[in-house]
Amino acid sequence: MRAFLVTWRSLVSIYNELFLLVGMNLLWWLCGGFLTVAPALAAYTVLSLTASSGEPLWLAPVIIGLVIAIPAGPATAALANVTHRAARELHVDRSFFTDGLREYWRKALGVSALLALVNTILILNLVFYISQVGSLIQGLALLFIVLLLYWASVQVYVFPILVGMKEPSVLGAIKMALMMAFANPLFSALVVVIAALLTGISVVLAILVLILWPTVVLMMGAHSLKLVVEMAGGGKEENAGVDAR
């Protein structure tokens, strides 16, 4: 139920700042967000060619796509800086995007690089074990599916955590995101599933990808962080090193 509460609160927060957030979403695309399309396009192309030709899955384009997407990190941190405040019903304007871009760009690149590295490792292992047809070790593919779901929940949390930390750091943000996802596995998994469903809806209604999709995902991360930290810290985000300003 908490995941649905987070979803509702996220949609309400977006509605309250709709015009601003649409503008920030467009700014995110212009400042590097468009690079996040690379892995999806590569994966779609590879899967289409594999299905039509029957050739073994060639992962190099997907890995290259993940690398290309790394520079989108600063824009994502900047948008997360906006959604962090909007989720807490604090004053927010365009300056928080530009301030976030300036303040977090180095750390955001580091976070993006680590996310891409782990994504690559997990995907390579998953494809390897799935391809072991008729072997007992093929069952290990299930482990990497679970790990990918867990890592997806970490990625929902990590940028909201980075911009919410009193003393931001790449490893600190990753560590806290890992802990949050591990401590709340069912909640985190359901948040990922809902975020994936909303992403699917955005893709079908293509205009939503352009004007709202990254904001929705980051807002869900911001509200998830707010709810989990408040529950763990007795209602005070400061107890977990999160700046509630």
pLDDT in tens, 93-116: 999 999 999 999 999 999 999 999
Domain that holds residue 103: 2-240
3-state percent breakdown (helix, strand, coil) of the chain, nearest 5: 85, 0, 15
Residue 245 lies in a domain: no
pLDDT in tens, 200-220: 998 888 888 889 999 999 999
Calculate Rg over the CA atoms of the chain.
18
Residue 75 lies in a domain: yes
Assess whether pLDDT exceeds 70 at residue 234.
no
Residue 140 lies in a domain: yes
Report the pLDDT averaged over residues 123-130: 86
Assess whether pLDDT exceeds 50 at residue 239.
no
Residue 30 lies in a domain: yes
User: Look-up: residue for tokens 């782990």?
Assistant: 118
Do the Cβ atoms of 72 and 109 come closer than 8 Å?
A: no
Report the pLDDT averaged over residues 122-143: 84
Residue 52 lies in a domain: yes
Residue 236 lies in a domain: yes
Residue 79 lies in a domain: yes
Residue 38 lies in a domain: yes
- The band of 57, judged by pLDDT with boundaries at 50, 70 and 90, is low
Q: What does the pLDDT read at residue 215?
A: 96
Q: How many domains does the chain have?
A: 1
**Which two tokens mark 87?**
């989720």
Phi, psi (5° rounding) for residue 19? -65, -40
51-86 residues labelled b (16+ CB within 10 A) or e (exposed): eeeeeeeebebbbebbbbbbbbbbbbbbbbbbbbbb
Report the pLDDT averaged over residues 119-143: 85
Question: Could you tell me the pTM of the whole model?
Answer: 0.89
